[in-house]
Chains A and B, each alone.
Chain A
Amino acid sequence: MTETSKAETKNLSFFYGNFQALKNINLSILEKKVTALIGPSGCGKTTFLRCFNRMHDLYPHNRYEGEIILLPENTNIISPDIDPIEVRMHISMVFQKPNPFPKSIYENVAYGLRVRGINKKSALDEKVEKSLREAALWDEVRNRLYGQAFDLSGGQQQRLCIARALATDPEMILFDEPTSALDPIATSKIEELIIELKSKVTILIVTHNMQQAARISDKTGFFYLGELIEYSTTDKLFTAPAVKQTEEYITGRFG
């Protein structure tokens, strides 16, 4: 299979006020692959992930430098000329804790489509079912689509959030520690799902669970103190990393 870039960061730096959280990150994210980001707390991996759907725009005094080029459109998604809402239509995000809206299961998935102006019932029905199927949740909720999303279990809520993210046909999905609040069985369902989803979308995932990164990703980047220390294929990074710091971190000889 050929490897095409879906997004490229070019000298990407990020500042929270005066604090520089990311330092000149150059990284290429491959299309329809899973890229995992690992590193100790405060290393910048989540900051990096959030740049991709302009989450940082929600707070003042935050500043980007450099570029994130989305391909093949060749748009710099952190350019001030680009509307963050439009970016989020292309790049959706799934958070650490499941965060469904206080609405029905159906409305959670339909929400992004309604924002886009799609209100025709047949179109919505079709898209909601398709998204729930892709998120491996359809069979569990098909008879209770109008029930409250909060009545679902934690793992189901997380899969609902994935269905919601899929509904707008994104090119890329960002996962920020999507399983850290879930039990091992719900975790393995989400992992299985992520592996399946990569045939459709490009996936970028931040995880503290290194075995999870090793299990599901194709490429892994190790961040430390705002820098990208090593970026290579997951197999290589976990068996024979090239950089001493990576070695120390993944074998638990760190700090």
Chain B
Amino acid sequence: METEKRHTSLQYERELQEIKDNLIYMGVLTEKAIAKGIKALLLRDSDLARTVIAEDDEIDRLDVDIEDKCIRLLALRQPAARDLRFITTAIKINGHLERIGDMAANISEKVIILSEEPQLKPYVDIPRMADIACGMIRQSLDALVNENVALANKVRSSDELVDNLNEQIFRELLTFMMEDVRNIHRATIIMQISKNLERISDHAKGIADMVVYLVTGKSVRHEEPPES
């Protein structure tokens, strides 16, 4: 890839880089939050789940901070072309990451409830979903840093895997509910965890969509990813 020329204003260059760095940091925090939440689910560890909920404050703080920085640059620098696309993309990616943080906290709230009751079933597909979703977040942000459209498209097509797993979990939990009405409460809570993971992967796909826009200037949000 061609190296980008430096901006004549180094201060502006630094401010753009700072936004990018903060998005990456936010991405790392959301990944950690999901992984911890799932670990708490498997270990039935409510204390660990509570730390995830508490740590969401840091993600919320970053959300406000990044948005402020973007709005400030829009007002002061009147960015154009790639810089304009970067800043508008950053605002959207920021929103996606903030929602992912909320969903990780939401998963942890469900974990606390589940920990107080006997385990309904062994968890196999949920950790797989979480792994894929975390990988999607990581790869979408890698694609942002390296402006890699191919990688962004890979993330966009991974979304289907998570959707399928969610469907599968739903069908499996239905059988538990039909077997015994006393399973319904726990089954619906597990379903909500699964739904949260499915939504997280939608947001990761949203980040990848914006990376494609940043690099190509073309909006692909409502288009199918190209077949790989």
Contacts and interface: CB of A to CB of B under 8 A. Distances in A.
Interface of A: 210-211, 214, 238-241, 244, 246-248, 250-255
Given A251-B79, A252-B9, A239 B4 contact: no
A250 B80 contact: yes
Given A210-B80, A238-B80, A240-B217, A251 B85 contact: no
B149 to A, nearest CB: 14
Nearest to B84: A239
A217 B84 CA distance: 19
A241 B79 CA distance: 13
A240 B7 contact: no
18 contacts: A238-B81, A239-B80, A239-B81, A239-B85, A239-B217, A240-B217, A240-B218, A247-B82, A250-B80, A250-B81, A251-B81, A251-B82, A251-B83, A252-B7, A253-B4, A253-B6, A253-B8, A254-B5
A214 B8 contact: no
A244 B217 CA distance: 13
Contacts of B12: 252
Residue of B6, B80, B83, B218 with most partner-chain A CB within 10 A: B80
A253 to B, nearest CB: 4
Interface residues of B, number: 19
A239 B82 CA distance: 7
B8 A238 contact: no
Nearest to B218: A240
B2 interface: yes
A251 B73 CA distance: 13
Contacts, number: 42
Contacts of B81: 238-241, 246-247, 250-251
B158 to A, nearest CB: 26
B8 A254 contact: yes
Contacts of A210: 80
B80 A251 contact: yes
Interface string B58-90: 000000000000000000001111111100000
A47 to B, nearest CB: 25
Interface of B: 2, 4-9, 12, 78-85, 216-218
Contacts of B217: 239-240
A200 B44 CA distance: 75
Nearest to A250: B80
A240 B6 contact: no
B52 to A, nearest CB: 39
Nearest to B5: A253
Contacts of A247: 81-82
B213 to A, nearest CB: 9
Contacts of B6: 253
A90 B84 CA distance: 39
Nearest to A254: B8
B13 to A, nearest CB: 9
Per CB-CB distance, the 9 closest pairs between chain A and chain B, nearest first, are A240-B217, A253-B5, A250-B80, A251-B83, A238-B80, A247-B81, A252-B8, A250-B81, A251-B81
Contact of B2 (A244, A246, A251, A255): A244
A219 B217 CA distance: 18
B5 to A, nearest CB: 4
Given A239-B80, A246-B81, A253-B5, 12 more contacts: A211-B78, A239-B81, A239-B84, A240-B218, A244-B2, A247-B82, A251-B80, A251-B82, A252-B7, A252-B9, A252-B12, A253-B6
A210 B6 CA distance: 19
A211 B84 CA distance: 13
A246 B81 CA distance: 9
